[in-house]
Structures are given as C-alpha cells and as structure tokens.
A and B are shown apart, each in its own frame.
Chain A
Amino acid sequence: MATFSGNRGLQMEQPLIFEQGSPDRTAVDLPDVPAVGDRLGGLKRQQPVGLPGLSEPEVVRHYTRLSQKNYCIDSGLYPLGSCTMKHNPRLNEKLARLPGIGDLHPLQPVSTAQGALMIIDACARWLMALTGMPAVAMSPGAGAHGEFVGMAAIRAAHEDRGDARRRVLVPESAHGTNPATAVACGYAVEPIPANRRGRVDIGRLRAALAPDVAAIMVTNPNTCGLFETDILDIAAAAHDVGAYFYCDGANFNAIVGRVRPGDLGVDAMHINLHKTFSTPHGGGGPGSGPVVLSAALAPYAPVPYVVNEGDGLSLVEYAAASDGKPCGRIKGFHGQFGMFVRALAYMMSMGSDGLKQAATDAVINANYVMARLKDVMTPSFDGPCMHEALFDDRFLKGSEITTLDFAKALIDEGYHPMTVYFPLIVPGAMLIEPTETESRQSLDRFIDVMRALAARAVAGDAERFRNAPRFTPRRRLDETSAARHPVLRWRTPAVDRAAE
C-alpha cells in the first residue's frame, strides 16, 4: 500500500540536503567579523559556493533520518567475511576525545606531547609482542596502505643489495589490494592457484619461485578462512630464493594471542586495527594499518617513528635524522593516532588473556555456524575453519537462485549478508564471519534463518529470493545504469536540465 507521504512508519523519505533550506539560514552562529582590511591580494571568491542553509534542528534531523537507513553492528549480526565486524567499545570513543588526546596537534613541540608518544609506543609494543616481530611501522592509514609500506620496505631492501627483482607471487584467493599493492611498488604480479583444500598450492608456488621473485604475499589465515597448513614450508621456500614473505594480516583476529606470525617466518605483515583491534569501520573508514617488520626490513620503515631511549621519547621525522634507511614518508603526519588510542584501550581492556579468548571464541563461533549449516548449504572445503566459514552456491544449483539473491533474502530477514563472491577462487562464494562478539543465542537465530532460507531455495521458491529485498528503504538498485551514466553529484535542476 502506498502512503501519501512516501514514508512507511519508521522509514522516512529524506531529500538531499541541497533540496532543503535557503541560503540565508545557518546552524552556526558566529561573532561579527572585525572590520580590518583584507590581505587576500584580490583573490577573493566572487561566486557563491552553492551550499544550502539550514538551522541546527533541520541538520540534526537530516542526518538522524539518514542514519536510520543504515544497518550496523550495534543493531545486528554483521557476518561480513574478511571484514571482522566485531563490537566497537564506546570507552574507546570516549578516550579518543579526551582533552590532551583528541585535540593534540602533530606539530606541537615534542616536549609537550610526551603522553602522545607514549601511546604510540605502547600500542607499537603490544603489536610487536602479539606478532612476535621486532619492529612496527605505525603510520599507514589502513590495511592497503600497510601493504604498500611492507612491500616498499621489501623493494628498498632488495634495491639496497643492487637486486630490485621483478615479480611478486600472489595466491588467486588473495584480496584485491594485494596485487594492486604489488603493482604500486613496481612489481609484476604472478597468480598462484589454490589446491583442492583451499590452501596455497605449494608445488605451484615452488615452481614459480626463482631468484627474480621479490616476495610472496600470502594471507594467513587465508581468505577461505583456513590456516595455511604448509606455512612454514611456504616461508622457507620463499627465503630459499631470497624472497621475502609478506603476510596479509587482515585475518589476525583468528589467532591473536595464540599464534605469533613471527614464529611462522613472516617478514612483514599489516594489521587492520579496524578489524582485529575493534576500532570502528565508520561506514568505510578511517582505519589504521600498522605493519610489523622483521629485523632485516626494520631499517627501511618509513618516517616518522617514535624512539624510546630512556630519557624521554622522541620522534624521528626525516630520513636524515634516521639511523636506518627509511623507504620515505607515506602519510602527512604520524599515522592514525586516534585509532592507536582506541586499539590500545581495547588491548588493555582485553589483556593477553582476553585476546586469546577472543580468538578462540571467534573460531568457535565460525565452526559452530559451519557445523549447523553444512548439511543444508555446501561448505567449500573440509575440516575445521578458523574465524570464518566459507560456503558456495552448489546447494543452489537448479534453483535459479544466485548467491546474490540469497544474500538479498537475508536482508529481508533483518540480517546483513555475509561476504559474497569473495574469495574469487570459489564460485558463488558466501563467507560468514560471525566474530567473537556474537552470543550463542544470536547465532542460533541466524542459523535458523539461514536453514529456513536454504530450505525454501531448494524447494524452488525463487520468487522470494529474486524479489528480495522488499522491506528496505530502497529495493534492488540499478548498478548497471549507475555505472553507464554516472551521476556523482547533485546539480541544480537548471544545470541538470541543460545537461540533458
């Protein structure tokens, strides 16, 4: 039934901000501007920006209504595989905003920011202890940026020996950032297939390894949610030809507090603080991607970094001030400090005992989902998984229902879908990562829904799936036309008409 307003109960329609207000209104009262001459050199703006004006109540209502169109971890299970959507503690948010923390300026004298350097240093020490690695570069902005730094350090180390090398081996199951990063560091990417058990095919890896290989980039636990059983041999094989082992640490949550990547032969690994260490994803960011480094790669860490030499902490901001051979600078200032605060607060709250328990519970939860769904869906690989359970679309065969349809039906049931169509090596992949912050009751309800949906799918109720979602503020959106005729901003109706 259509309503007169277009709203449906709690689901409110909301126009764009540009379709509201009037230019003379504002939600920010500011004092009068003192009458002093200007020093703008005649370069004052002549055209209006084109922004709408609204009062504070209107702006607050606008964003509140927008927020109500979002699913979030606060409101429900968010089983996006590879993304580690765990609970984001609110203590962390409070601490990141304390005076003397949130208001610190990166260029205030270092003597006035000793507490800040201690936070960076403490966060670094926790990460080094948990990974069993001797060094960490703290400044990367997110996981992919950490990959860039790790691979840049690897290239710098090779170049230092006069042997830059040419190729980087990347398993086909890897996240897209891995090959993109290798290319950004000037390497050619060579894909390595997986074996039938969802692990790196070590025979194919060995065959591809040669003295022109700079590094292998292996995710562990991998993107199929499996621990790489041959990890020690993989590391040794890489090292035998003088290549480095870059580990994608996005899935560290499965093993944190229990397995130290340093014990597996890893030379560099980024850690997504916005996954394992509970900092919020914020609808796409910001993140933070510190990268731990072996002793051989540590000298190539980028500037700036904190040095703790007993008599106070200092900041090395320039290559010339470094006793290493920094690969450069990769970010404007000292890294995602606000995220270090949150991650450190989380690590201190959890402690080594709590982190170990978190990894264990994450693995129990994923295996529980696997155990209770494997008779109605098709698990892609045998044996226990780590923190995420991977299924594929074989159970949908003959139903004319796709993985995407199945995901959309889950939306109607009040759940965010699992990751779909990733990893690429599994056709119609469905990767479920419940995380340790879901209760058993919550998992049971989810599992019951998944079983019911699987049963309907097998029974041939294709309509339910193809028409889903039906209860969301918007139903399926036309992504093809969005890409074919991109509309990437609002324009005044007059400009829009002229363009047509």
Chain B
Amino acid sequence: MRYLPLNDSDRRAMLAAIGVADADALFQDVPAGVLDRPIALPAHQDELSVERAFQRLAALNLAPSSVPCFLGGGLYRHHVPAAVDHLIQRGEFLTAYTPYQPELAQGTLHALFEFQTQVAMLTGMEIANASMYDGATATAEAAMMATRIAKRRRIVVSGGLHPHYGDVVATYARFHGLAVERLAGDWQGIEDAAAAVDGATACVIVQNPDVFGRIHDLTPLAETCHACGILLIAVVTEAVSLGLLRSPGEMGADIVAGEGQSLGNATSFGGPTVGLLAARETFVRQMPGRLAGATRDVDGRRGFVLTLSTREQHIRRDKATSNICTNSGLCALAFSIHVSLLGEAGMRRLAELNHARAVMAAQRLAEIPGVAVCNETFFNEFTVALPCPAAPVVEHMAAAGVLGGVPLSRLFPEDPLMTPLLLVAVTETATDEDIDRLVATLSAALQA
C-alpha cells in the first residue's frame, strides 16, 4: 500500500512503546460490536489500474476540449496558459494548509494579498476577500452581508440573475429567516428592478452581463438604491468581461460577488471554482471569509497575515459573519497567476477577442432562417430564439459533435417562454472553423 510508510515491524515496535498488545486496544472506547463490522468495498489497487478505470469513465463523456464548445451559463471554457497549472501544482502551494502560521506561509499570504488587490481592481471596488466557494455562494453571502449592514430583512433579486444563484440566495435566506423577492426571468431585458424596492429592502441583486448575456448600465439603479439606503449587489459570472466593461464599482455597486473560474480554472463539471467577493472598505467588518493584510515583522520588514479574524467562526463562533472556513485558495491562486500573466494589455486583449468572436458568431447565427439573436448588447454570450424547443436541438448538435449552447429551459424549467431560447457563449477558444460547425450543425438540427 503505497501511501502507508509503516510496516509490520514498525507497528509492533510502536505498539510496544505505547504499551498495548495490539492496535485494537487503542480502539477500546468504541462501543462493543461496532468495531470492524464488514464493509462491502473492493480491496486496494495499483496506480495503473486506477488510472485505467478513470480513462474508461472519461471516455464515456464528450470532452468539451475535443469539440467546438459554446457552453456558458455561468462557467466558461477559456485557454489557461500552461504556466498556471504548473505553478499551482508546486507542492508548496498545493499541499500547504490555511496560512495560520504566517512565518511559514508568506508565499500563500503574499499571493492572497495580490489576489485581493487584483479582484478589487477588476471589479472597481476598494477591497476584496480571499475567496468564497463559488459565485453562487459568494452572492448569497453578499446578500446576508447586506442585510446586516442595512439592518433590513428583504432581498430583491433581479430576473437577470443566474437562476442557480437566485436559488442559493433563496436557500440561505430561508434559513436565515429573510424575505426574498425574485423577479421573473427577464429574457427581454425590460425589467425595472427599482420598482420592486420598498422601505424594508436591504439590497438589490443584479447580474452584469445578465444571465441572458445583456450588458446593463447599473448607474441609475445604484442611484435609486442609494437614495433609499439600499445596497446594490452586482454579480459577475464571466470575469473576463471585467477587462472590457465598465466596472461594477464605477457604476455604483456596493458589493460585487462573482465567479472567477474563467481566469485560471477549468470548468471541471462545475467545481471547484472560485467565488469573488469585493466591497466598499467601510463594510469590511461585515465581510465573510478570510482576509490577508499587510503588516511588519519584528525586524520591520513587510509581511502578510490573515487579519480581522474577529469576524470569523474560529474566533467569534455563533456571532461570526459566516460559517465559512476552507475557501477556494488554490483556485484563487490560479486566477491570480492567470491575471498576472495577462497583465493590463493581455486582460484587455483577451476580453476584446472574446467579444469580437462572439459578435462574429452572433452575425452568422442571425443569418440562419428562423433564428433570431435576442440581445442588443452582449459581451461573449447571447441568447438566440429558435423556431422550436432548444433542448432537443442541443441534443442533436451534441450527437453531431458540437456542444452548441445551453437551452434556457435547463436554467428556467418552469418558464415555458424559455423553451425556444438557446444561450450561446463564444470565447477565444472558438476558431472560425468551430463557428462554421456551430452554424452548420444548428441549421441541420433545425431541419431534422
């Protein structure tokens, strides 16, 4: 058993040093009859056998990296530079624990401080934390945070918010005893979220670009909110868009929650990814999660520590701002390394490239008879209306080797208006040939 260093003679010698006859004596506190009941599971296997088993399982899937892929809806396929995965697999990053002993974790802490800065810069906010589980939980925690700051108990959720995010907000709110008002899925982009606020409202949650791909100027909504003491929470699910769009902070957001997967991280069937949470500095004491901060050591040199932990569960227990402990550290590192590799110019160029390729694909799709692009505006994802239900079309296209998009009925199963709508994401990974195949397979599927 390759992961276990002790052999039988070690065990015997150690048990003798402990002063017991056998290892079972160490389990003496386990109630009688409970120890070693049979467990019907296979025995250990060598590395090659395990690898083969996983290769067989992988072969049962259609690998998005092997086909034209236009899937989005919250997670996006981007090219991640080779250096990212190499660096995050250095054992010093991969196999370290949370940096509770800062003298032994300056690497992690320094990187987290840079991550926080990058997230704050990209979102246009003053500060950011060291990550949450994912974009959806970051959004829910942002909402909980807003209710504590505003000291009000009602949350308004835009119909442009990813429905899974709305569901997570609703779950958290239900158990916190908070009220949630969810506006209907706004595929036409006509919603007036400001009309839904009242004196009990703590926050309004809007997504930009929204789940249908539309880009919004949040400034008027921010002004309305602020006039009523309400916090505006802006959600970003496509972090690459921050390179090209006016930042949520610039448009008046008070808290920004986001999904950082697009930068540095694989889609990995939905996880692990990295939740982003940024805010105005005055709200810092209501923030959930870890924060790295700069300080000095006894010799006066700059160094980093985890700080303001009196917000956190390990100090404050039942009075903590959240129960979160383990976060998404390594995914945050991957995000940060990717952003460092891109730099200012690369970030802008990557975003422009995404947008341009999406514009090209949208133009081509609009030429298919019976297909209409619903969006006036978009970044790298847009909604198209088909003349028939989208879900079977997507199945057809997949059978032809193209992952053509996400049928919105999958995200809004209870809204019949979504049935013919298809959400198409186009990133820098889509080649001209991929777009040709998207158009051809969609045309063919519509005729089938």
Contact = CB atoms under 8 A, between A and B. Distances in A.
Interface stretch (B61-69, B148-156, B440-448): B61-69
Interface stretch (B125-133, B197-205, B224-232): B125-133
Interface string A432-447: 0000111110100000
Given A103-B266, A104-B267, A474 B102 contact: yes
B64 A259 contact: no
A368 B14 contact: yes
Interface in B79-136: 81, 83, 85-108, 110-114, 116-118, 120-122, 124, 126-128, 130-131, 133-136
A147 B18 contact: no
A371 interface: yes
B414 A320 contact: yes
A221 to B, nearest CB: 9
B36 interface: yes
B197 to A, nearest CB: 23
B345 A26 contact: yes
A336 B272 contact: yes
B17 A371 contact: yes
Interface in B234-278: 242-247, 250, 259, 266-274
B63 A103 contact: yes
Contacts of B358: 39
B63 A475 contact: no
B271 A282 contact: no
B39 to A, nearest CB: 5
A27 B54 CA distance: 34
Interface stretch (A203-211, A225-233, A452-460): A225-233
Contact of A333 (B75, B266, B327, B355): B75
B295 A40 contact: no
B245 A100 contact: no
A407 interface: yes
B18 to A, nearest CB: 4
A101 to B, nearest CB: 5
Contacts of B120: 489
Given A130-B41, A361-B6, A440-B6, A69 B107 contact: yes
B342 A51 contact: yes
B271 A27 contact: no
Interface string B211-223: 0000111000000
Given A38-B355, A482-B293, A282 B330 contact: yes
Given A59-B340, A116-B269, A482-B307, A98 B4 contact: no
Contacts of B332: 285
B274 to A, nearest CB: 8
Contacts of B428: 30
Interface residues of B, number: 216
A24 interface: yes
Given A283-B96, A483-B310, A437 B270 contact: no
Interface in B316-347: 316-320, 322-333, 337, 339-347
Nearest to B15: A364
A284 B89 CA distance: 14
Contacts of A231: 31
A193 interface: no
A411 B101 CA distance: 9
A489 B113 contact: yes
Nearest to B350: A30
A419 B320 CA distance: 21
A332 B136 contact: yes
B386 interface: no
A483 B291 CA distance: 10
Contacts of A80: 97, 100
A351 interface: yes
A66 interface: yes
A136 interface: no
Contacts of A60: 83, 86-87
6 contacts: A70-B105, A107-B73, A331-B133, A332-B137, A477-B304, A479-B102
Given A33-B353, A143-B326, A286-B329, 9 more contacts: A27-B342, A28-B350, A51-B121, A59-B83, A89-B3, A283-B105, A337-B271, A383-B28, A482-B307
- The 4 A-B pairs with the shortest beta carbon distances in the complex, nearest first, are A333-B270, A282-B330, A328-B171, A74-B91
